[in-house]
Structure 1
């Protein structure tokens, strides 16, 4: 059994009734662009609350309030507002550390209209991760409503900013969250270019608002997770934290009630009371069942079913209704069509003094590697090996996942209106476009837009994407009719495109014009280009004409003449031949003519 000091210490605290952890400090860059006296790039630490602007930047001006400088009270009480005026820069509110939770400072700043909050340390030392309070009180419900980003800065930088403001200088800062992106290069190491993310969670639903919010997130996010997973955009895996019981305490009441497999895998008691309700070992077994469900579903090619199972289990088998049991879980599993025998085999004997391969692997995965710190907090989301910072809600998490895709490879769900702004809608993003053909070089992306000549119906356009794009290849005439005039009217379609190697434009017979912008119908009747025989009556049509003969005679279009329909009584064969021989442009035999008339 592994003797990991970090786990040992945590379990000792666990046995005393509480165990807490924190994220590895995640640093990011903050750039002061003015004044000259403090211009430069500085480290800051991202808070574990609010919503970091993944893939974005925020440029604003710093304000340090004259009152309520620690931000622990509502700024309205001091008649202070940080809402930017039209045309003004966003306000970055600077407050000092101390007297209240970081989250309360951020909430007060947000309500007062600040675009972001900077919290200056009150002592010298390394930067820390600003975390959420452990207590779950009524007043802490605002935690889920914090949306502005936050940054923790050093005491020295805070002092420099305050000093510059004291001298009447404007302090402008650019906050850039590009460094906090889930590592795109990490995802590009995989041939399928998927974004990998993992969710550290628990089946425990008895821990109050925190558990309720986690269940609500799973319920709301499962539709997006299914789309991403089914289409191969992501590779998701759920994980569960367990600790082991120190060997001297394996036979203690605490370890027996909180652990399975002879103290190897333990989870805190849901009520922190070993004499009532469900025990920690019940949670370990249900967590193991969820992990095994994912393993079996994944092996069958349907890993997304995990989201359905966890959601349905939370609804159908809650602790408060005393349905948090194997029987209830089995019914949910069977309803989803997953092999129950395989799951039971994966769970194994939880009373045996042996390792469970799946839980042992889970404990190994809890140890941090690189930018992935030790996982000690539930819930924890890790995207492309980077720990997610921010609110656990569908929109915020989806934005973070979408930031992990290489630009222009994002799935459509990342470009929906509630996730990002379509920059191609305004002025076509400044890119080339052919309005007539409804073709544009602007391609919307999660982090902005690119001007890239498109491929339309298999035809590639070439150019810079900004000022010029031109179709090429054998099929280029299929695009916008090769740039030639084309029109459909009265059920007829005419085109000026010349289908030969010249790729030119020429108005078809019956029309006149340049062949590109327009082709105008020619009135053959008015211009006496048709129906010239004495008995002929001419009627112009779009792109052509109609001729008829008086007295019931038959009009012969090829010869622009009228012939009586009754040849036997009104016209002799000699007369017919006189007509035919009189037309020098057409010479046909008697038999051919007779066949033409259907005689």
Structure 2
């Protein structure tokens, strides 16, 4: 196996090197202008090389002040470890962090500075040489996480210029600079020509996933521009060829068509299993012919439909990457199958394929464009695009290819100024299960802030963690505990008594997180133990009935006679009536005694008043009858 893989690496090396003679290779560094506004001692304009990651502000410019960190000068570690932050107060100039080259990837330096609040990054070269393009590393598991989230622009500057910036900053001067991308893409006419060097293979890792996602996201904008006549798009596919000495080898036969003339690496890098490189070459050729046939029909934008549909319906990962599936996509789009097959030709012929021969010739740099050697590569108005392959960034670069005031409406609409939270959730925390996100879109960009939902406040940094706090946490995704609904009943294992606990509710048993299983109370002899009882288990509970004319009392787990209960109820009613009558009689008697006593008191006072008039009382009426006067 080791020998086989070594042979594979050796062959792939030949394929890449043999594409273009080294004496002919042309590698062009795409540049933007960096103008120093102050101090006067270093005022002037300098070239800088656009980084091949992040989002360059094509068609625009950005002003800021240079900041050179006192520690972590190469930016290879997080600046928070040193207590350094570049965040400015509202109204302040954006900070352009200057770091030194060396010791770690360019992209890592930019990512660390971005996390600390930088608006842009300038990397000072550590040797005197012509400017080079800062590229991203091969995206493995660790680097892919931060490369995808870099959103600020960056540029490499020459060593001597970097030394001048450092000297001025150390002297206490405010170093005010302006990065300018307005001429990074030329605009020779009223139409933008752009091309994308792509691949149909979806099993080459992070870069393939990124490319497939971009094609899907950019499809709508691309078709609007193409249908309006604003752009002319051309897809391209990189191919290699096998050196003559290896054309009869197993490796070349499995990776090439047309007797070694057009090759692609084995998708799994294993000749014994899965798809072969020749499968990729054939599908690349088919996609080129789909574009040619669609272009003949005056509908070149159909290529975007075919490619996105093919990704969805015929993925290599699901073993559907084949001619039968491709033909189904072609048929659904109404394309002429026979014309496409004629365009593709015979992959087993010992002769050149006109379509693929043109592709190999097009890889060689012409004019201001360098050679195409990596995937993916985007070229706008014959300039290689630098930066993140994302819809907003690419659309901005294409729109900068129009002269000012001549841009189509799509360049001035929400297709450029989009909601940053829609792309990779803005790099913020999210809980897909509960459909929650910490990303909030604002006029000046997104912020990562833990959400408030249904009265429950989430707390955390907003980037990696947000946890529910306060009462009501069980309402949010059931607190991460088990829950289920069945037969019109819903149960949850979440309990919140100051701290969320996942504990199965009564009638269930389990861990409370992943599962809670119904307890069969009848089998486990936990209910209906009386002799007359009959038990039936239900989900989360049980039903108990009594035989004959008996009634089940659940609290006492016993059966009693219904008649006895009715007799007891009748006597209870009689006693209630008797007690009520007795209370009424007692009340009437008390009222009677009170009124009688009041009358007698009045009579006695009247008689006594005749003989002993009271000082406080005037003449008292005579209550004696006239016949006794």
Shorter-normalised TM-score: what interval? 0.5 to 0.7
Aligned to 2:192: 195
Aligned to 2:290: 293
Aligned to 1:249: 246
Counterpart check, 1:220 vs 2:217:
yes
Counterpart check, 1:168 vs 2:165:
no
* Match for residue 70 of structure 1 among 68, 74, 82: 74
Gap change, CA 1:137 and 1:235, over 3 Å in 2: same
In the TM superposition, structure 1's runs of 4+ consecutive aligned residues that sit over 3 Å from their partners are 9-12, 14-23
- Matched residue of 2:183: which SS? helix
Partners of 1:24 and 1:126 in 2: how far apart?
Answer: 11
* Match for residue 388 of structure 1 among 385, 409, 413: 385
Shift of 1:87: 2.2
- Matched residue of 2:96: which SS? strand
Per-residue CA deviations over 1:334-382 (Å, capped at 9, x if unaligned) read: 0100001110111111000011111111111111112211011111111
Partners of 2:16 and 2:338 in 1: how far apart?
Answer: 38
Alignment check: 8 A CA contact 1:44 1:152 kept: yes
Partners of 1:129 and 1:234 in 2: how far apart?
Answer: 27
Alignment check: 8 A CA contact 2:182 2:400 kept: no
Shift of 1:84: 1.9
Shift of 1:387: 0.7
* Match for residue 330 of structure 2 among 308, 333, 350: 333
Partners of 2:54 and 2:19 in 1: how far apart?
Answer: 24
Aligned to 1:319: 316
- Matched residue of 2:274: which SS? coil
Partners of 2:35 and 2:300 in 1: how far apart?
Answer: 42
Gap change, CA 1:234 and 1:96, over 3 Å in 2: same
Aligned to 1:3: none
Partners of 2:59 and 2:76 in 1: how far apart?
Answer: 30
The aligned runs of 1:190-589 (5 Å cut-off) are 193-417=190-414, 419-420=416-417
Larger radius of gyration: 2
Q: Cα RMSD over matched residues?
A: 2.2
Partners of 1:16 and 1:50 in 2: how far apart?
Answer: 27
Counterpart check, 1:117 vs 2:127:
no
- Matched residue of 2:41: which SS? coil
Shift of 1:194: 1.7
Per-residue CA deviations over 1:455-503 (Å, capped at 9, x if unaligned) read: xxxxxxxxxxxxxxxxxxxxxxxxxxxxxxxxxxxxxxxxxxxxxxxxx
Gap change, CA 1:16 and 1:241, over 3 Å in 2: closer
Partners of 1:363 and 1:44 in 2: how far apart?
Answer: 31
Aligned to 2:88: 84
Aligned to 1:13: 13
Per-residue CA deviations over 1:71-121 (Å, capped at 9, x if unaligned) read: 111112222111122221110100001111100111111111111000001
Partners of 2:27 and 2:94 in 1: how far apart?
Answer: 29
Shift of 1:139: 3.8
Partners of 1:17 and 1:322 in 2: how far apart?
Answer: 31
Per-residue CA deviations over 1:270-307 (Å, capped at 9, x if unaligned) read: 11222211111110000000000000011011111111
- Matched residue of 2:330: which SS? helix
Alignment check: 8 A CA contact 2:65 2:175 kept: yes
Per-residue CA deviations over 1:377-399 (Å, capped at 9, x if unaligned) read: 11111111111111111111111
Shift of 1:17: 12
* Structure 2 residue runs without a partner (length 5+): 1-8, 419-629
Shift of 1:36: 2.1
Per-residue CA deviations over 1:415-445 (Å, capped at 9, x if unaligned) read: 1135259xxxxxxxxxxxxxxxxxxxxxxxx
Partners of 1:269 and 1:78 in 2: how far apart?
Answer: 46
Shift of 1:51: 0.9
Number of residue pairs the alignment of both structures matches: 406
- Matched residue of 1:199: which SS? strand
Per-residue CA deviations over 1:192-247 (Å, capped at 9, x if unaligned) read: x2211111100000112211111111111111111111111111110001111111
Gap change, CA 1:156 and 1:289, over 3 Å in 2: same
Counterpart check, 1:153 vs 2:157:
yes
Partners of 1:17 and 1:281 in 2: how far apart?
Answer: 19
Partners of 2:252 and 2:260 in 1: how far apart?
Answer: 6
Shift of 1:47: 0.6
Gap change, CA 1:16 and 1:336, over 3 Å in 2: closer
Partners of 2:27 and 2:88 in 1: how far apart?
Answer: 33
Alignment check: 8 A CA contact 1:206 1:319 kept: yes
Alignment check: 8 A CA contact 2:53 2:107 kept: yes
Shift of 1:140: 2.3
Alignment check: 8 A CA contact 1:17 1:272 kept: no
Gap change, CA 1:140 and 1:170, over 3 Å in 2: same
Alignment check: 8 A CA contact 2:125 2:162 kept: yes
